[in-house]
Amino acid sequence: MASRKTKSPEARRITVKDVSTAAGVSTASVSRVLAGFEDVSEETRQRVLEAARSLNYQPNRNARNLRRNTTSKIGVIISDIQNPFFGTVVRGIEKITIKDDFTLILGNSDEDPQRERKLIAMLLEEGVAGIIIAPTDVDSDSYCSLFNSGTPYVVIDRRIKDCGADMVNVDGYEGSRQAVEHLLGLGHTRIGFIGGLEHLSVMQERKLGYLETMRSHKLPLEDGFLNSGNNRQDGGYRAMGELLRLERPPSAVLIANNLMTLGGLKAIHESGLKIPEQISLIGFDDMDWAASLQPPLSVIAQPAFEMGERAADALLERIREPGLPPRKFLLQTELILRASCRSLK
């Protein structure tokens, strides 16, 4: 007669009951320790944690979520998955959320409001605990609909019309102002600017920083010196080409994001001009490749990782305390000077 097969100890899932038996405490004490409650003695805490480690205990996420009446998923919608800036932001988000055992669901709107609305609907259908979003449209009703759904959310990088959202932004105006002041200090007065998508608040702020700094020095805005790309490499390539084909091109150019900077560099190289001997250049975002260029590129660095951390902290706080008043966080840029700008003095 064949013997009955039994599951090996390794195949059986270790439970809270097993941990409580090994630690010699109640299952309630085990649950409170593993959930992070502080009203447990240090001796009990250490016994539970040691037992959990020795048994290789893995919490049942689904069961825990049912007890909490919540989900362990957080939605993140970024506007351009090809932009390494957003990759760094997501890393910052993950650093914070993983500590609380949240899983990220990542969506790419590709700067398309209709696609973004679909992503929002999908995440709400999924029942995520909260959403972090880099919006495509300042005036879209989608965001107020999201607010009215009761799902906690945080807006990053761009601003939206006020409907009670937490927002984490970078002071792009000040970043542009510092860059233009630096170029003026080197003796440049013919400074061009390549902006991005005109409807985005972040691009409006960077453009305004450029314009108001030039005006404060009583410098005229020369024809063709203010150009717009599309936040992508091809847009930067086209816009820089137009600047270089002017009868009297600028001696220096400020470019409003990293992908357009790559396109601008391509146009400069194809024209045969040398940086910084014939044209000086400052870009937004300090990507890994910026310091590796020849010459290394001066940049307005944004705290992308910190933006992700701050947004995740804000979202988790709002998940825990939904009644918090709306908060706005403004992070600062840093002008990093390298060899892509020269003095005309």
CATH classification of the domain holding 88:
3.40.50.2300
Q: Mark whether 221 and 296 lie in a shared domain.
A: yes
Q: Is the dihedral of CA 128, 129, 133, 136 positive or negative?
A: positive
User: Residues in the chain, how many?
Assistant: 345
Q: Mark whether 285 and 230 lie in a shared domain.
A: yes
Q: Mark whether 139 and 83 lie in a shared domain.
A: yes
Q: Mark whether 278 and 181 lie in a shared domain.
A: yes
C-alpha angle 99/34/126, rounded to 5°? Answer: 55
Most confident range (mean pLDDT) of 98-102, 123-127, 239-243 is 239-243
Instruction: Quote the number of domains for the chain.
Output: 3
Q: Mark whether 262 and 191 lie in a shared domain.
A: yes
In a domain, 65, yes or no: no
The boundaries of the domain holding residue 231 are 172-302
C-alpha 131/C-alpha 133 separation (Å) is: 6
Q: Has residue 68 got a pLDDT over 50?
A: no
Contacts of residue 270, Cβ cutoff 8 Å, sequence gap at least 6: none
Q: Mark whether 243 and 319 lie in a shared domain.
A: no
Q: Mark whether 204 and 279 lie in a shared domain.
A: yes
Q: Mark whether 197 and 285 lie in a shared domain.
A: yes
Q: Mark whether 272 and 179 lie in a shared domain.
A: yes
pTM: 0.80
In a domain, 131, yes or no: yes
C-alpha 199/C-alpha 137 separation (Å) is: 7
- CA torsion 36→42→44→47, rounded to 10°? 90
Contacts of 40-49 with CB under 8 Å at 24 or more apart are 47/23, 48/19, 48/23
pLDDT at 16: 78
Q: Mark whether 128 and 146 lie in a shared domain.
A: yes
What is the CATH classification number for the domain harbouring 37?
1.10.260.40
Q: Has residue 3 got a pLDDT over 80?
A: no
Q: Mark whether 217 and 263 lie in a shared domain.
A: yes
Q: Residue 151 phi/psi, 5° resolution?
A: -80, 125
In a domain, 339, yes or no: no
- Per-residue pLDDT of 127-170, as tens digits, reads 899 999 999 987 767 787 777 778 899 999 999 887 788 999 99
Instruction: Over range 191-216, report the average pLDDT.
Output: 97
Alpha carbon distance, N-terminus to C-terminus of the chain:
99
